[in-house]
């Protein structure tokens, strides 16, 4: 079941948008920051580099836009070897978002957003229009914010401006280095949600850096786990990284070893579920497309509330009803099944999510790798504090 969810299998026919081929970086003082790294990012894919501080994530990212020159190996962006590309042109084709944004304090928000269009010689009216459009896209009302200055915004709002600025010239590739790490957990969680919605719209190829495994699991189509010295320990979907860590380092880093022991004794509960758009077999494809809104897929229910399957938004560009196009769903679990069963199903079907049914086979919601992870953390926390899992507050992952 590769269709639904954000986690796609690569069909192998397209060349990757970003390709690192045996890339190394040794700084002049002898520090090896990255060691023979090979990794690719498909068009429209969001790959998260995650690992502890100092493991070479920022160095890797800066080699892609050549703020740092590799000591060995080759890097391709859209098929072109960037080690020979013109720096300035290369960087204009790659949006870059960093932790403390680096807005110009004496320029208005609109001017900050339009920096790259300005450098590219766009006329003033077009820059202004573009800035307003982008502010709206990242959830900042242009009438309110366009004329303000950076110090008049909250930390979360400044991060949104940073994202808007990176998108200004509509670059196919975005590099994001810990963009949400400086804000508090609640705002971070909101920014992550908004960012996922935005990505559904813009479908950029994104390399995203974080030291936070929760954030990685939540955002990534695939996750690259790094150890010190820029060694790639595992590069796979969130479910695979969490469910079958490739090395002791990974299992330790994802903090899942304790959790794994609890998988088989922790049931799936209603509190763990997410709710993607829901359509009925008899709905017209047109109305299904509307109901899906920004989501790329929906769950399909039969008339009695049972699970009929799923449908992708691109499957709705036709006349007829949902039932004509819907795909069967092979993977599902029942409420109160163990998380271990849910995990096993998810891995077996290589699914980005799995449906949960009640005891009368009615559809309730879905589990995703991030909600599974949250459920496990809740269970581990609850045990260590001797309270019921439902009383554990997790701000970073569960409040989707």
Ligand X SMILES: Nc1ncnc2c1ncn2[C@@H]1O[C@H](COP(=O)(O)OP(=O)(O)O)[C@@H](O)[C@H]1O
57 is a site residue for ligand X (CB under 6 A): yes
29 is a site residue for ligand X (CB under 6 A): yes
Q: Which stretch binds ligand X (CB under 6 A): 47-55, 80-88, 339-347, 370-378?
A: 47-55
Q: Which stretch binds Mg ion (CB under 5 A): 50-58, 86-94, 218-226, 325-333?
A: 50-58
Q: Which stretch binds ligand X (CB under 6 A): 54-62, 183-191, 217-225, 266-274?
A: 54-62
56 is a site residue for ligand X (CB under 6 A): yes
- Strand pairing partners for 209? 49, 177
Using an 8 Å Cβ cutoff, are 263 and 343 in contact?
yes
Other C-beta atoms within 10 Å of 95: how many? Answer: 25
245 binds, among ligand X, Mg ion, none (CB under 5 to 8 A by kind): none
Instruction: State the Cα–Cα distance between residues 342 and 236, nearest whole angstrom.
Output: 19
CB neighbour burial string for 191-222, b if at least 16 within 10 angstroms, e if fewer: bbebbeebbeeeebbbbbbbbbbbbbbbbbbb
27 binds, among Mg ion, ligand X, none (CB under 5 to 8 A by kind): ligand X
Q: Is 278 exposed, middle or buried (0-12, 13-18, 19+ CB in 10 A)?
A: middle
CB of 28 to ligand X, least distance (A): 7
Find the angle CA(44)-CA(50)-CA(53) to the nearest 5 degrees: 140
C-alpha atoms less than 13 angstroms from C-alpha of 24 in its C-beta half-sphere: 11
Other C-beta atoms within 10 Å of 341: how many? Answer: 16
Residues in the interface with ligand X (CB under 6 A) total 11
393 binds, among ligand X, Mg ion, none (CB under 5 to 8 A by kind): none
Q: Which is nearer to ligand X, 178 or 283 (CB)?
A: 178
| 3-state secondary structure (DSSP) of residue 272 | helix
33 is a site residue for ligand X (CB under 6 A): yes
42, 58, 192, 251: residue in contact with Mg ion (rule CB under 5 A):
58
Q: Which stretch binds Mg ion (CB under 5 A): 8-16, 26-34, 58-66, 331-339?
A: 58-66
Q: For the chain, how big is the Rg over CA atoms in Å? A: 22
Polymer length in residues for the chain: 400
Q: In sequence order, what DSSP letters do the residues of 50-118 get, joined into one string?
A: E-STTSSHHHHHHHHTTSS--SEEEEEETTEEGGGS-HHHHHHTEEEEETT----TTS-HHHHHTHHHH
Residues in the interface with Mg ion (CB under 5 A) total 1
59 binds, among ligand X, Mg ion, none (CB under 5 to 8 A by kind): ligand X
275 binds, among Mg ion, ligand X, none (CB under 5 to 8 A by kind): none
Q: Is 309 exposed, middle or buried (0-12, 13-18, 19+ CB in 10 A)?
A: buried
Q: Which stretch binds ligand X (CB under 6 A): 49-57, 112-120, 180-188, 356-364?
A: 49-57
CB of 113 to ligand X, least distance (A): 26
In the block, tokens 């935005």 appear at 198
Q: Which stretch binds ligand X (CB under 6 A): 6-14, 53-61, 213-221, 264-272?
A: 53-61
2, 15, 31, 120: residue in contact with ligand X (rule CB under 6 A):
31
301 is a site residue for Mg ion (CB under 5 A): no
276 is a site residue for ligand X (CB under 6 A): no
55 is a site residue for ligand X (CB under 6 A): yes
Q: Which is nearer to Mg ion, 162 or 276 (CB)?
A: 162
CB of 53 to ligand X, least distance (A): 4
Chain residue whose CB lies nearest Mg ion: 58
Q: Which is nearer to Mg ion, 58 or 301 (CB)?
A: 58
Using an 8 Å Cβ cutoff, are 288 and 316 in contact?
yes
Sign of CA dihedral 110, 113, 116, 122: negative
CB of 377 to Mg ion, least distance (A): 25
Q: Which is nearer to ligand X, 31 or 80 (CB)?
A: 31
42, 58, 237, 371: residue in contact with ligand X (rule CB under 6 A):
58
Instruction: State the Cα–Cα distance between residues 116 and 133, nearest whole angstrom.
Output: 15
* Residues at the site binding ligand X, with contacts judged by CB under 6 A: 27, 29, 31, 33, 53-59
* Residues at the site binding Mg ion, with contacts judged by CB under 5 A: 58
């Amino acid at each position: 079941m590769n269709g639904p969810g954000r986690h796609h299998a690569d069909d192998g026919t397209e060349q990757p948008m970003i390709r690192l081929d045996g890339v190394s970086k040794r700084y002049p003082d002898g520090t090896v920051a990255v060691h023979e790294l090979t990794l690719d990012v498909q068009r429209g894919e969001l790959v998260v580099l995650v690992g502890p501080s100092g493991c070479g994530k920022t160095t890797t990212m800066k080699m892609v836009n050549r703020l740092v020159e590799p000591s060995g190996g080759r890097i391709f962006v859209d098929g072109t070897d960037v080690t020979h590309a013109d720096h300035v042109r290369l960087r204009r084709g790659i949006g870059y978002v960093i932790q403390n944004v680096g807005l110009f304090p004496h320029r208005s928000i609109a001017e900050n957003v339009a920096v790259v269009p300005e450098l590219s010689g766009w006329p003033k009216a077009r820059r202004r229009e573009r800035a307003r459009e982008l502010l709206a896209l990242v959830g900042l009302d242009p009438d309110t914010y366009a004329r303000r200055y950076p110090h008049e915004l909250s930390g979360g709002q400044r991060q949104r401006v940073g994202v808007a600025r990176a998108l200004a010239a509509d670059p196919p590739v975005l590099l994001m280095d810990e963009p949400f790490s400086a804000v508090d957990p609640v705002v971070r969680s909101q920014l992550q949600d908004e960012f996922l919605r935005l990505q559904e719209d813009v479908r950029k190829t994104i390399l995203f850096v974080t030291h936070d495994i929760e954030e990685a699991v939540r955002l990534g189509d695939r996750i690259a786990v790094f150890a010190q010295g820029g060694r790639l320990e595992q590069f796979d979907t969130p479910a695979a990284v969490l469910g079958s860590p490739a090395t002791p380092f990974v299992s330790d880093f994802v903090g899942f070893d304790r959790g794994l022991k609890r998988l088989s004794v922790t049931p799936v509960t209603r509190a763990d579920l997410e709710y993607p758009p829901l359509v009925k077999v008899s709905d017209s494809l047109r109305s299904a497309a509307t109901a899906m809104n920004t989501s790329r897929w929906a769950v399909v229910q039969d008339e009695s509330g049972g699970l009929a399957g799923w449908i992708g938004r691109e499957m709705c560009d036709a006349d007829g009803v949902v039932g004509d196009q819907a795909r069967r769903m092979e993977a599902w679990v029942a409420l109160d099944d163990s998380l271990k069963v849910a995990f096993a199903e998810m891995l077996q079907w290589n699914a980005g999510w799995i449906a949960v049914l009640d005891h009368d086979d009615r559809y309730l919601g879905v589990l995703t790798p991030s909600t599974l992870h949250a459920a496990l953390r809740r269970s581990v926390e609850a045990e260590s504090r001797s309270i019921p899992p439902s009383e554990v507050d997790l701000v970073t992952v569960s409040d989707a």
